[in-house]
Amino acid sequence: MRRMSFRSGNPALTSNTFNNAVSDSSGETMTLDGTVNKTSISLLLLIFSAYYTYSMPIEQSPAFVFPGFIGGFILAIITIFKKQWAPYTVPLYSILEGLALGGISAIYNSMYTDIVQQAIFLTFGIFCALLFAYKTGFIKATENFKLGVFAGTAGIGIVYLVNFIMSFFGSGLSVMSIENASMMSIGFSAFVVVMASLNLVLDFDFIEHGAEVGAPKYMEWYGAFGLLVTLVWLYLEILRLLAKLQSRR
């Protein structure tokens, strides 16, 4: 029961994620190896679609950002409420998010030197480092750790919401602007990157727990989806942080 009280800042992985999973008629259960394979497939789909839009002329690639994110958001909502559809919705989600990320990356690359390569390297570097730290027991997802990450992520979510509301009035929070290279703005972005990174640890814990309790086989795709959500967030925030650091020069 102690393990069932876990928390996560990831909206795709809540305390009831595996409790509410519908039994798989095939009788097969979720495994760690299966989730790793599904995550690899999802990442490859995202990378290929991102490269497609990124390699386009800069006049064309931004056109994919809005449709990609809106389509990805719709599929994410469907996946969260219909987890058994994950084997079909998650690959499509990966492709749409890739199209959007490729367009955003092209915009950033036109403004800042080598920023995309740096962001990709840092994102996967953080992912591998935290996975190693989690598997070796260097970082443990204790209840206090989960509560701290959840509280920090919730606070960031409030800032995002306030900034979103202010954008309707032609304004926004200065700390969210990539042109704001103040120490406060850079410090905020660094904090967000840390919180996004620590959410990966909670994602690893959720996936491991799902395999332990024998969740249905389709939850491997859902676990891959949860990781993908966090990785996309982490990549975008690293881009924002690097842009602020380059603006400071």
Q: Tell me, what's the pLDDT at 3?
A: 44
d(CA 201, CA 137): 11
d(CA 53, CA 41): 19
Contact call for residues 49 and 102 (beta carbons, < 8 A): yes
d(CA 33, CA 201): 17
Beta bridge partners of 29: 216
Which residues of the chain carry a pLDDT beneath 50? 1-6
Torsions phi, psi for 244 (to 5 deg): -65, -40
Torsions phi, psi for 29 (to 5 deg): -120, 165
d(CA 227, CA 209): 14
Overall size of the chain counted in residues: 249
Q: Tell me, what's the pLDDT at 6?
A: 46
Q: Tell me, what's the pLDDT at 175?
A: 84
Q: Tell me, what's the pLDDT at 233?
A: 95
Which of 175, 180, 192 lies closest to 246 in space, CA to CA? 180
Percent of the chain with pLDDT over 90: 63
Which of 99, 11, 112 lies closest to 55 in space, CA to CA? 99
Which tens digit of pLDDT belongs to each residue from 188-206? 999 999 999 999 999 999 8
